[in-house]
Amino acid sequence: MKMMRVVLIALIPVTLAALWFFRLPALLLLGVSVASAVGSEALWQYVQKKPLKIKDLSAVVTGLLFGLGLSPSLPLYIAAIGAAFAIIVGKQLFGGYGKNIFNPAILGRLFIVLAFPGTMRPWLMPVDLTTAATPLQIFRADGTMAPLLDLFTGLVPGSVGETSVLALLIGFAWLVYKNTANWRIPAAIAAAVTAIAIFAGQDPLFHLFSGSLLLGALFMATDPITAPRSQIGRWIFGAGIGVGIMLMRFYSPLPEGTSFAILGLNAAVPLINRYTMPKKKPTPAKPKAVQATKEGGAQS
* Residue 243 confidence (pLDDT): 98
d(CA 227, CA 102) in angstroms, rounded, equals 9
Name 23's Cβ contacts closer than 8 Å, sequence gap at least 6. Answer: 127, 129
At 162-205, the pLDDT tens digits run 999 999 999 999 999 999 999 999 999 999 999 999 999 999 99
Residue 220 has pLDDT above 80, yes or no: yes
Local structure of 116: helix, strand or coil = coil
Q: Look at residue 300 and tell me if it is in a domain.
A: no
The rounded distance, in Å, linking the Cα atoms of 49 and 242 is 41
CA 260 – CA 169 distance, rounded (Å): 22
Contact 262, 220 (CB under 8 A): yes
Kindly report, residue by residue over 15-44, the tens digit of the pLDDT.
Answer: 999 999 999 999 999 999 999 999 999 999
Would you say residue 282 lies in a domain? no
Q: Classify residue 202: in a domain, yes or no.
A: yes
Domain at 114, CATH number? 1.10.3430
Determine the Cα–Cα distance for residues 228 and 273; give it in Å rounded to an integer.
Answer: 6
What is the arithmetic mean of pLDDT over 146-167?
Answer: 96
Q: How many domains is the chain built from?
A: 1
- For residue 296, the model assigns a pLDDT of 47
Tell me whether residue 291 is in a domain.
no
- Give me the percent of the chain exceeding a pLDDT of 90: 85
**Is residue 296 in some structural domain?**
no
Band (pLDDT 50/70/90 cuts) for residue 288 is low
The answer for residues whose C-beta is within 8 angstroms of residue 40's C-beta and 6 or more apart is 59, 83, 84, 87, 88
Is residue 81 one of the residues assigned to a domain? yes
Domain assignment present for residue 100? The answer is yes
Burial of 10 (0-12, 13-18, 19+ CB in 10 A): buried
Query: Is the distance from CB of 184 to CB of 225 less than 8 angstroms?
Result: no
* Size of the chain in residues: 300
Encode 174-192: b = buried (16+ Cβ within 10 Å), e = exposed: bbeeeebbbebbbbbbbeb
The domain of 47 spans 2-276
**Does pLDDT of 132 surpass 60?**
yes
Evaluate if residue 299 carries a pLDDT over 60.
no
pLDDT at res. 62 = 96
Our measurement of the distance from residue 33's CA atom to the centroid of its chain's CA atoms, rounded to an integer in Å, reads 16
Decide if pLDDT at 98 tops 50: yes
CA pair distance 78, 280, nearest whole angstrom: 47
* 236-258 pLDDT, tens digit each: 999 999 999 999 999 988 888 99
pTM for the predicted model, two decimal places? 0.90
Residue 286 lies in a domain: no
Measured between its terminal Cα atoms, the distance across the chain in Å is: 53
Q: Which residue type sits at 256?
A: E
Q: Is 291 exposed, middle or buried (0-12, 13-18, 19+ CB in 10 A)?
A: exposed
Cα(79)–Cα(86) distance, rounded to whole angstroms? 10
